[in-house]
Amino acid sequence: MTMTRQDVEAERVLQGLEDGRPSVRLRAALAAGTVPDPRFVDKLVERCASEPEFFVRDMLTWALTRQPVSLTLHELLREVRSERAQARSQALHTLSKIGDGRAWPAITRALLSDPDDEVARSAWRAAVVLVPEGEETALATVLATQLGRGEQETQLSLSQALVALGEVIGPALHAATTAADPRVRAHALATQRLLRDPDAGFAWAIEEAKRVVALTGAPQTDDGSRADR
């Protein structure tokens, strides 16, 4: 059977996505997004799970957002359950870019507390994009359980996700400021600062919060004992 020009171009893109050179994979991903084709979906999703180069992964995600949601959504929802951390992270990142609310049920508590920081960060970002109206407070409560987690980059991602939910995060943050763990208290205080002043730098806010925690000491329980004992 004679191949059409479209068939030839599609085959070239699919081969390019498997090329050993990042620059070729990047051009192939760009082509896949520029001229969407249902034949690209499986390969784009597959490459997201294994692509080592960030800038290529970013282009793969863009290419997926250009394909019909009727084809990509099912594949991405399957990937968020993958045993491979990168597959979960990239699928969540792509779902956040597509923004289709039908993906919300897939944003489970397990993903929001995933032991892999990149997966968790992607889940936080996806959650605040996909959360249905009326469920923001419940989401804030779950996200607040991750306060104090990881290094500064991870903590910044969580604070940004919480702040994106708006004033509904107030009670969850207030509760966290009395936690026994000083890292949790400092992170909650820094997030409160960002909520009040979105232009405040996180590095400054977290260092200031740490000083406040160090000066005030551990919160006390109802019987007057220190909560961190």
What pLDDT tens digit does each residue of the chain (229 aa) get?
A: 677 888 888 999 999 999 999 999 999 999 999 999 999 999 999 999 999 999 999 999 999 999 999 999 999 999 999 999 999 999 999 999 999 999 999 999 999 999 999 999 999 999 999 999 999 999 999 999 999 999 999 999 999 999 999 999 999 999 999 999 999 999 999 999 888 887 777 776 777 877 888 877 655 433 334 445 4
Q: What is the pLDDT of residue 200?
A: 73
Q: Tell me which residue has tokens 């992607």.
A: 122
Q: What is the pLDDT of residue 220?
A: 43
Q: Tell me which residue has tokens 């969407």.
A: 36
Q: What is the pLDDT of residue 19?
A: 94
Instruction: Give the CA-trace dihedral at 142, 144, 148, 152, to 10 degrees.
Output: 100
Q: What is the pLDDT of residue 176?
A: 94
Using CA atoms, how far residue 126 sits from 89, 104, 121, in Å, is: 10, 9, 9
Contact indicator for 50, 20 with CB cutoff of 8 Å: no
Alpha-carbon distance 202 to 208, whole Å? 10
Residue 226 dihedral angles phi and psi, to the nearest 5°: -75, 135
Alpha-carbon distance 127 to 95, whole Å? 10
Q: What is the pLDDT of residue 214?
A: 80
- How many residues are listed for the chain in this entry? 229
Alpha-carbon distance 14 to 35, whole Å? 13
Q: How far is CA 172 from the centre of its chain?
A: 20
Alpha-carbon distance 139 to 137, whole Å? 5
Can you give the residue ranges of every domain in the chain? Answer: 139-229
